[in-house]
A and B are shown apart, each in its own frame.
Chain A
Amino acid sequence: MQSLSNRSKQVSQKEMTFMESIYLPAIIGGLMITIRHFFAKKITIRYPEIKKLFSKNWRGVHVLKKDEQGRERCTACGLCALSCPAEAITMEAAERKKGEENLYREEKYAARYEINMLRCIFCGLCEEACPKEAIFLTNEELAPSRMDRGELIFGKDKLVEKQHDPDNKKRGGGPLEERLFHSKENSSYKSTFEGISNS
């Protein structure tokens, strides 16, 4: 059979020569290989201080977007909840009152909007279903881990985008690079990362 990796070797059952059977040259050779690794660059990413750069279309924690004037885009149509295969989304609709035009873009809005992070499978179907471009999955935060189930039901307080930034579709603001490498040890990691992505 043809080898796929071009690295296959024929097994040979030859008697070992004298030099081979005293093992020492092989052991010394092995020691040289391992000591090279001892001094080699470490690929460990020291996690909480340095976060790994996610790919552009990574599906992380959700965000509810606001529009250019800082108004919530969601109109509580329920399409995201309908499309969600894990049934993780629940919401309660409410009518926009007079004087709330600067808060909500549509006449109907979500008074309560909850995503159960324990149910969510981060498939991104809610993002695709939304007709108002209101919900997105960010590529910055992983689904968090908590000690309490209740804390993992994310309400509007956690989901709605904090600052308003018309250029940036994702949560937060500022160029992505800056937000990812906020540790003082970032430079070494950065080059490691570039090394990986180049190879």
Chain B
Amino acid sequence: MDIYFILGKLILIVIIFAISLLTAMYSTYGERKIAGFFQDRLGPDRAGPWGILQPLADGGKLFFKEEILPVNANMALFIAGPSLSMLTACMSTAIIPWGTYLDIFGTKFVLQVADVNIGLLYIFGVVSLGVYGVMIGGWASNNKYSLLGAVRAASQNISYELAMGLSVIALIMLNGSLSLAEISRNQGESLFGLSGLNWNIFYQPLGFLIFIVCAFAECNRTPFDLPECETELVGGYHTEYSSMKLGFYLFAEYINMFVSSAFMAVLYFGGYNYPGINFVEANLGHNAAVIIGLAALFAKILFFIFFFMWVRWTVPRFRYDQLMKLGWQILIPLAIFNILLTGVGIMLFDN
């Protein structure tokens, strides 16, 4: 391990960290702007041109708000809650492959912080840690609404994690690997005579459907935003939170949205691959192809973030029993059926 390797990784970590924070920041702006557009309004447009400084104003406001610590709250846990949420949200970006490698003066610069060979397991490990942030925060608040919100969040996340895991198993069977770099590479092969279009979505449409529904539930987004359902639970698990601690919870939610969009793009929509990648590589060189791939990956991620918001302003919230029924009685059997189907498919076509 030479010094350049470590330095390169450090730079990459800082860049990815900055990008995911920036994306999350602008998701809050995007959310408000897009909500406005869906409701025939213009959305925020006063802070800076088209309102692009709005996230700064929002963040500044949150920092200067009074920090209220409830008297009977468990202080250590009350502070640990949002920190844990934020931490786990940021951790999962580490294994996203942003591209193969850049060739800088003969040195290979791999565009992935860590190519863990159990990448998918790592995601599930980190994502299921995220629920502790919510759970601890809700419990430490010493408020029944917070506690109810936290219990809802925990049971919802656990229920949907199962279906999500099962839907991904079919994907692993297809790719024969848990490593995200490997899965991305497999999707770079050609399909219909176009290179870089061998995307998993063409083999796993049902799996993707299950995955995206579960991703909505894991991110606590509408139609599954029951943990913070205002009509029943005041503010849900963050009822007692104020100032930047509240900001952390909300921010973690947006980072989660960014991360799950990234995983949807990487797992099912080809990651950094795009149609005609070989043609670009042959004509414009390796680095250009990688950079266009990075842009393609970002376009896919932004589309999914948009899709999250689009669904938010379309589908009303589920009732809690409907949510549980959907998770346990529909998605899990469907995911198992999908595994079966994939197995049969592999048997028939691979021989």
Contact = CB atoms under 8 A, between A and B. Distances in A.
A42 interface: yes
Given A31-B310, A44-B42, A46-B42, A38 B315 contact: no
Contact of A42 (B34, B37, B311, B314): B37
Interface size class of A (residues with CB under 8 A): 10 to 19
Nearest to A35: B310
Pick from B34, B38, B41 the residue with the most CB of A within 10 Å: B38
Contacts of A44: 36, 40-42
A30 B34 CA distance: 16
B5 interface: no
A34 B38 contact: yes
B315 A27 contact: yes
Nearest to B37: A38
B72 interface: no
Given A27-B315, A31-B311, A34-B310, A42 B38 contact: no
Contacts of B36: 44
Summarize B's interface: helix, strand, loop or mixed.
Answer: loop
Interface residues of B, number: 14
A24 B311 CA distance: 12
A30 B38 CA distance: 12
A177 to B, nearest CB: 24
Interface in A29-46: 30-31, 33-35, 37-38, 40-44, 46
Contact of B40 (A27, A35, A40, A46): A40
B315 A42 contact: no
B178 to A, nearest CB: 30
Interface of B: 34, 36-42, 45, 310-311, 313-315
Interface of A: 27, 30-31, 33-35, 37-38, 40-44, 46
10 contacts: A31-B314, A34-B313, A34-B314, A37-B38, A38-B310, A42-B41, A43-B40, A44-B36, A44-B42, A46-B45
